[in-house]
Amino acid sequence: MPPFLDALLALAMVALATLALLDRQLVRACAWFVAFAVSVALTWWSVGFIWLALLELLLGALLTGAFLFHALDIRQWASAPRGRLARWRDPVPLTWQRALMRLLPALAVLIMLAIALDNLAGTPGPLLVGGMGLIGLGLWAFALHRHLLRRLLAFNVIGTGIFLILMALVGDRNTAAGHGLVVTGLLVALLGTALGALLIRRLNRLDGRRILDVAEAGRSRA
Question: Where along the sequence are the contacts to other proteins (CB under 8 A)?
Answer: 112-113, 115-120, 135, 142, 148, 151-152, 155, 158-159, 162, 165-166, 169-170, 173-181, 184-185, 188-189, 191-192, 195-196, 199-200, 202-203, 206-207
Spatial CA neighbour of 61 closest among 19, 20, 42, 33:
33
CB-nearer residue toward other proteins: 80 or 147: 147
**Which residues are registered as beta bridge partners of 89?**
25
CB of 173 to other proteins, least distance (A): 6
CB of 163 to other proteins, least distance (A): 8
CB-nearer residue toward other proteins: 171 or 219: 171
CB of 155 to other proteins, least distance (A): 5
CB of 49 to other proteins, least distance (A): 15
CB-nearer residue toward other proteins: 80 or 185: 185
CB-nearer residue toward other proteins: 25 or 184: 184
CB-nearer residue toward other proteins: 85 or 171: 171
CB of 85 to other proteins, least distance (A): 23
Q: State the amino acid at position 130 in one-letter form.
A: G
CB of 165 to other proteins, least distance (A): 6
Evaluate whether 40 touches 15 at the Cβ level (below 8 Å): no
CB-nearer residue toward other proteins: 100 or 116: 116
Provide the 10 A C-beta neighbour count for residue 160.
Answer: 27
Whole-number Cα distances in Å, 181 to 63, 129, 143, 184: 20, 20, 26, 5
Express the helix, strand and coil content of the chain in percent, nearest 5 each.
Answer: 80, 0, 15
d(CA 207, CA 217): 16
Spatial CA neighbour of 106 closest among 71, 77, 141, 61:
141
